């Protein structure tokens, strides 16, 4: 009986640790409509390779090969760094800028959830600073 309890405890601990590591490596939830549009302008994409995935810069073709556990965390870091320079939020419109700081695309955000998601995910502030509640 003690052997079964010991085995059950071991399996329980293993299962708990596995789930916690899996949750840690999961990407943050995204607003599908807005993210798909912005993703077309982001300079990063995932490339499948034999050992997993690489993060590739579209222009320089430089590849990063983070461990699988850190892949989505690193991709989000790169996207947020890019967003600080190339995204601007004005009222309910998200603008994508080019290297010359010119607006190349405007995305009309449809509701408060999309605005809050953009502010939280990309760490942006509304240039007009109207609080949305």
How is the chain split into domains, by residue range?
31-122
The torsion angles phi and psi of 110, rounded to 5 degrees, stand at -80, -25
Backbone angles phi, psi at 30, to 5 degrees: -125, 150
Number of residues that this document lists for the chain: 133
Query: Which pair of structure tokens corresponds to residue 108?
Result: 């009309």
Helices 2-25 + 71-86 axis angle, to 10? 20
- The CB-side HSE value for 71 (13 A sphere, CA atoms) comes to 18
Task: Please tell me the pTM assigned to this model.
Answer: 0.74
Strand order from edge to edge, sheet including 87-90: 87-90, 93-97, 103-108
Tens of pLDDT, residues 57-87 = 999 999 999 988 888 889 999 999 999 999 9
Please tell me the predicted confidence (pLDDT) of residue 128.
66
SS3 63: strand
């Amino acid at each position: 009986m003690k052997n079964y309890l010991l085995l059950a405890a071991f399996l329980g601990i293993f299962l708990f640790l596995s789930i916690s590591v899996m949750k840690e490596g999961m990407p943050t939830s995204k607003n599908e409509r807005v993210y798909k549009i912005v993703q077309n302008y982001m300079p990063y994409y995932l490339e499948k390779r034999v050992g997993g995935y690489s993060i590739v810069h579209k222009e320089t073709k430089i590849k990063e090969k983070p461990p699988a556990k850190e892949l989505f965390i690193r991709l989000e870091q790169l996207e947020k760094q890019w967003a600080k320079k190339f995204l601007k939020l004005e009222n309910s419109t998200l603008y994508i800028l080019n290297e010359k700081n010119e607006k190349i695309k405007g995305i009309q955000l449809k509701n408060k959830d999309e605005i809050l998601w953009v502010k939280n995910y990309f760490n942006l502030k509304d240039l007009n600073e109207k609080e949305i509640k």
